[in-house]
Amino acid sequence: MENIVVTGGAGFIGSNLTLTLQRRYPSARITVIDDFRSASFKNLEGFRGDVIAANLVDVDLGYYIDASEVDAFFHLASITDTTDHDQYRQTHDNVESWRSILNHFAGEKAALVYASSAATYGIGGGINHVDAPLRPANVYAFTKVQLENLAARYAADFPSQKVIGVRYFNVYGPRETHKGQPASMIYHLAQQIRAGKSPRIFKYGEQKRDFVYVDDIVEGTILAATKQIEGAFDAKKFPRRVFNLGSGEARPFNDIITILNATLKTDVKTEYFDCPFPFYQPHTEADLKETTAAIGYKPSFTLESGIADYFKSGWLVPA
């Protein structure tokens, strides 16, 4: 990859992706597009590429980006706050920005990779298979389904086009500090313990999540591009072109408290309270069979090793 674009590249996952790409492809031209509504310049410390501060809904991509020269385009920009219920803002910004990108790259060589979400599966519990019916329970998840629909139509109109969607599960790790309330539960619970408070989780901590470390997410996202560029992705065998990215394991919230107590050398008790959200998912678990077969993705981190690495990075417990 010689010419790379990352939208949302100053956000949590986007900045980790951007800096990993910079290390892996030191001579590549890397461009970040971000409007900084849910991002931080601090996440890009050490970045040597170009940053375009713009809203993808109304930016003239052609002014900044020559579509014929781009090798890989990673679309992570999105309104990511699942508690934002403004249906027009969420749908307009998330969907129309993706439509603009698809139109800009129609018929070009670029490998497109876009971020979808496990939220598309809805509140039903159990293992999440990529071919399961999608039942979005909030407008954020609804917009991600629309991104997948647009990508499917785009792939049908341009059969030789390279485009893959990746459904992110519950991601945690460095560079999420700026997110505030939408940051991972692992980050929030660690801060509560650091402050000498009882960590607060919904009754009775038995809800299960596929917690996936951001380094694994970055690796899977890059694989989705490189497999297409190398011609190693079989679009006929995997016509949906959408794959789960998670740890492949569901862990209860109580496990987080246990691991954090061990990591932070504390012994705090949990405070349980009622869940106020009717759309809350009780169980997420990524089925990774197709992901592994299609792009070779295999997660490297368990919940224990991920939290340990997060702590070691200095981002979980700031100095």
Phi and psi at residue 179, to the nearest 5°? -70, -20
Say if residues 218 and 226 touch (Cβ distance below 8 Å).
no
Q: Is 172 a catalytic residue?
A: no
Between the alpha carbon of residue 294 and those of residues 1, 174, 224, 298, 316, the distances in Å are: 20, 28, 9, 11, 33
* Residue among 83, 95, 84, 74 at smallest CA distance from 144: 95
Say if residues 91 and 143 touch (Cβ distance below 8 Å).
yes
Among candidate residues 114, 121, 140, 310, the one labeled active-site is 140
Residues in the chain: 319
* Residue among 164, 318, 183 at smallest CA distance from 234: 164
How many CB atoms are located within 10 Å of the residue 156 CB? 10
Instruction: Compute the distance between CA of residue 127 and CA of residue 130 in angstroms, rounded to an integer.
Output: 10
Q: Is 237 a catalytic residue?
A: no
Among candidate residues 114, 144, 162, 179, the one labeled active-site is 179
Residues with catalytic function: 140, 179
